[in-house]
């Protein structure tokens, strides 16, 4: 078995040389934690008042269950879902009357699906294969969590992992807020601090995570991550001849390269230096897939402050966050991230528990249909908001939303042209159906995004 690890330098040089405002890095929240920008969401000026939830590792709803009468707004009307033993109704998550709430029904409908807990689903098969690797190849025993509630406090999602108060990832544009103090977790790192505080030193957390994001074959607003954390004590690195940080970084890369080898055998991959608020140094791993470099994970040596707050002043730790869909795309040769949500038998029947060697056989390839849409943007326009509107109308029939033209006229008005690709994974779409979708998208863009169609 062979693994080729390529130099990090080309990507690093590219990232350094690309002006921030033109950088593709900023386009996509998959780089959510890369950079630190100010934001000022007008409707969420109350962000600075955080409320923490007292019940460790529990859903905010469970900590409220004993106090339902005084929290009328959180009372489930009808219990629709049960996650980690907590009942959650639509009205607990989608609150049209709360200006701080931006969770649409399309997102609520995915809550509780828990693809990672289905042993016959590619995401579940991959999770089990990663468990296997940690059980058999790493001497330390990792404790596994896969049913922690995805509704977490702002404190858990951001503060506890040192995300600065004005970091872009906290914005209404990037994160789904249930209310001003509660979010759908946007990464499994939301559970790190709590588990460390509880005394865990080696653990894996798998779960569904939620982000307002762009639309293409490797981005979806709901996806799955696996977090890994390992804490070392001074005895572990004493004989290594390395300082604690270098030792942890070395062990981290070795563990993840071993994982890639375990999953893929031969694959082209490279390490890229990056930035996260919660690790230093920080890295991303990219794998060559479908003729492009695809980022599959972020990781690094845990900031000492996080360990200090959990009462571990003498240790050093590493942490990683794997993008399970991206890894499963490589493992099973799945070309489009929407397929993970398909209930079409022609997709689901191709996978079975414990089978890693399977390559997905596309059961059909219907042609895409492209529709362009040009408009003058307003100051508040964002691409994520447009994507949310398009997904709200076309659901999984939208394959990609791409900015293809962008100019500012002499009066200072900026025009964008977006190309929307519609394609079903399961059937042919009629012209009439697509025209109707496009018409509704245009109407909604105008009424909800304050843009002027051209
Ligand atoms: C994080 O989420 C960090 N919490 C990871 C981490 C953990 C770093 C611990 C250090 C220590 P990032 O935003 O890069 O980082 O996301 C991690 C991975 O999730 C990405 O590499 C990618 O594989 C996947 N990912 C991100 N956005 C999407 C998306 N919209 N759709 C599918 N996968 C995504
Ligand atoms: Mg990233």
Kindly report, residue by residue over 85-112, the tens digit of the pLDDT: 888 999 999 999 999 999 999 999 999 9
- Lowest mean pLDDT across 51-55, 133-137, 183-187, 384-388: 51-55
The predicted model gives 326-344 an average pLDDT of 97
Taking CB atoms and a 6 Å cutoff, what residues make up the pocket around ligand 1?
Answer: 30, 32-33, 187, 189, 211, 213, 219-220, 223, 225, 227, 276, 278-279, 295-300, 319-321, 323, 325-326, 337
Stretch 311-323: mean pLDDT, rounded? 96
Ligand 1 site-directed mutation target among 326, 328, 330, most atoms within 8 Å of CB:
326
Identify the three-state secondary structure at position 439: helix
Whether the per-residue pLDDT at 327 is higher than 70: the answer is yes
Q: How far apart are CA 119 and CA 124, in angstroms?
A: 5
Q: Strand runs (DSSP E) across 194-267, as ranges?
A: 202-210, 222-232
pLDDT tier, 60 (very low <50, low <70, confident <90, very high otherwise): low
pLDDT recorded at residue 84:
79
Q: How far is the CA of 207 from the centre of ligand 2 (A)?
A: 17
Average pLDDT over residues 300-329: 97
Confidence of residue 26 (pLDDT cuts 50, 70, 90): very low
Query: Tokens 């496009």 appear where?
Result: 438
Nearest Cα neighbor of 47 from 173, 148, 149, 150 is 173
d(CA 29, ligand 2 centre) in Å: 8
Which ligand is in closest contact with the Cα of 322? 1
Taking CA atoms only, the protein residue closest to ligand 1 atom 32 is 219
Expressed in angstroms and rounded, the spacing between residue 248 Cα and the centre of ligand 1 is 20
Contact 376, 451 (CB under 8 A): yes
316 SS3 class? strand
Lowest-confidence range among 58-62, 244-248, 291-295, 346-350?
58-62
Q: What is the pLDDT of residue 41?
A: 36
Which residue among 190, 298, 317, 396 is best mutated to probe the pocket of ligand 1, counting the most ligand atoms within 8 A of its Cβ?
298
Structure tokens at 208: 């569904």
Calpha distance 205→201 (Å, rounded): 13
The reported pLDDT for the residue numbered 45 is 27
User: Which of 27, 36, 187, 306 to mutate to test ligand 1, by most ligand atoms within 8 A of the CB atom?
Assistant: 187
pLDDT on residue 355: 96
Report which ligand 1 atom has the smallest distance to the Cα of 214: 30
In whole angstroms, what is the distance from residue 213 CA to residue 203 CA? Answer: 28
Each residue's pLDDT tens digit, 158-194: 999 999 999 999 999 999 999 999 999 999 999 999 9
What distance in angstroms lies between residue 297's CA and the mean position of ligand 1's atoms?
A: 6
- The whole-number pLDDT of residue 266 equals 87
* pLDDT over 60 at 7, yes or no: no
Ligand 1 atom nearest to CA at 285: 21
pLDDT tens per residue across span 393-421: 999 999 999 999 999 999 999 999 999 99
Q: How far apart are CA 417 and CA 81, in angstroms?
A: 40
To test the ligand 1 pocket, which listed residue (292, 317, 323) has its Cβ within 8 A of the most ligand atoms?
A: 323
Which ligand minimizes its atom distance to the CA of 29? 1
Is the per-residue pLDDT at 71 higher than 60?
no
Mean pLDDT to the nearest integer, 57-61 = 48
Does residue 252 surpass a pLDDT of 80? yes
Distance 395 CA to ligand 2 centre (A): 25
The two tokens of residue 74 are: 């959180």
Task: Provide mean pLDDT across the span 221-248.
Answer: 97
3-state SS, 70-90, equals CCHHHCCCCCCEEECCEEECH
d(CA 284, CA 33): 11
Ranges 26-30, 37-41, 141-145, most confident: 141-145
- Give the neighbor-by-neighbor strand order of the sheet with 316-323: 4-6, 268-276, 279-289, 292-302, 316-323, 222-232, 202-210, 143-145
* Mean pLDDT for the chain overall: 86
Percent of the chain with pLDDT over 90: 79
Q: Considering only CA atoms, which residue is closest to atom 28 of ligand 1?
A: 30
Whole-model pTM: value is 0.85
Residues with CB under 5 A from ligand 2 (ion): 31, 298
Does residue 6 surpass a pLDDT of 70?
no
Give the three-state DSSP class for 225: strand
User: 447 alpha carbon to ligand 2 midpoint, in Å?
Assistant: 33
Residue 59 confidence (pLDDT): 52
Rounded to an integer, the average pLDDT of 233-239 is 95
Q: What does the pLDDT average to over 126-140?
A: 95
Report pLDDT for 4.
Answer: 52
Ligand 1 centre to CA of 451 (Å) is 31
Terminal-residue alpha carbon distance, the chain = 56
Distance 298 CA to ligand 2 centre (A): 6
């Amino acid at each position: 078995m062979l693994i080729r690890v390529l130099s990090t330098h080309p990507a690093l040089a590219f990232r350094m040389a690309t002006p921030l405002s033109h950088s593709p890095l900023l386009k996509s929240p998959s780089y959510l934690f890369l950079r630190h920008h100010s934001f000022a969401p007008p409707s969420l000026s109350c962000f600075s008042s955080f409320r923490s939830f007292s019940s460790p590792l529990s859903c905010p709803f469970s900590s409220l269950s004993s106090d339902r009468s005084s929290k009328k707004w959180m009372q489930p009307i009808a219990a629709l879902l049960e996650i980690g033993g907590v009942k959650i109704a639509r009205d607990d998550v989608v609150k049209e009357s709360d200006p701080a709430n931006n969770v649409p029904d399309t997102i609520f409908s995915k809550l509780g699906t828990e693809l990672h807990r289905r042993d016959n689903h590619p995401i579940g098969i991959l999770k089990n294969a990663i468990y296997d690797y940690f059980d058999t190849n790493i001497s330390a025993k990792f404790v596994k969590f896969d049913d922690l509630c995805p509704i977490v406090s702002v404190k858990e999602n951001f503060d506890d992992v040192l995300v600065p108060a004005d970091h872009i990832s906290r914005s209404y544009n990037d994160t789904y807020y249930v209310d001003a103090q509660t979010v759908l977790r946007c990464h499994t790192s939301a559970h790190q601090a709590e588990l460390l505080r509880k005394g865990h030193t080696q653990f894996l957390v798998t779960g569904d995570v939620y982000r307002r994001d762009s639309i293409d074959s490797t981005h979806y607003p709901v996806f799955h991550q696996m977090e890994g954390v390992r804490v070392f004590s001074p005895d572990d690195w004493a004989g290594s001849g390395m300082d604690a940080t270098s030792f942890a970084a070395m062990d981290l890369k070795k563990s993840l390269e071993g994982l890639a080898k375990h999953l893929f055998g031969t694959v082209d991959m490279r390490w890229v230096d990056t930035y996260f608020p919660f690790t230093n140094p920080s890295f991303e791993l990219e794998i060559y897939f479908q003729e492009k470099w695809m980022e599959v994970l972020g990781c690094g040596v845990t900031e000492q402050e996080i360990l200090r707050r959990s009462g571990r002043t003498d240790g050093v730790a590493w942490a990683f966050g794997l993008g399970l869909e991206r890894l499963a795309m490589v493992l099973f040769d799945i070309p489009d991230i929407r397929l993970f949500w398909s209930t079409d038998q022609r997709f689901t029947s191709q996978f079975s528990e414990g089978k890693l060697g399977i390559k997905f056989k596309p059961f059909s390839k219907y042609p895409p249909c492209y529709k362009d849409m040009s408009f003058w943007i307003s100051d508040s326009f964002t691409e994520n908001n447009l994507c949310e509107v398009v997904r709200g109308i076309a659901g999984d029939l939208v394959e990609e939303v791409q900015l293809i033209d962008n100019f500012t006229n002499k009066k200072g008005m900026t025009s964008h042209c977006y190309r929307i690709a519609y394609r079903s994974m399961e059937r042919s779409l009629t012209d009439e159906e697509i025209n109707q979708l496009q018409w509704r998208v245009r109407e909604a863009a105008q009424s909800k995004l304050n843009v002027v169609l051209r």
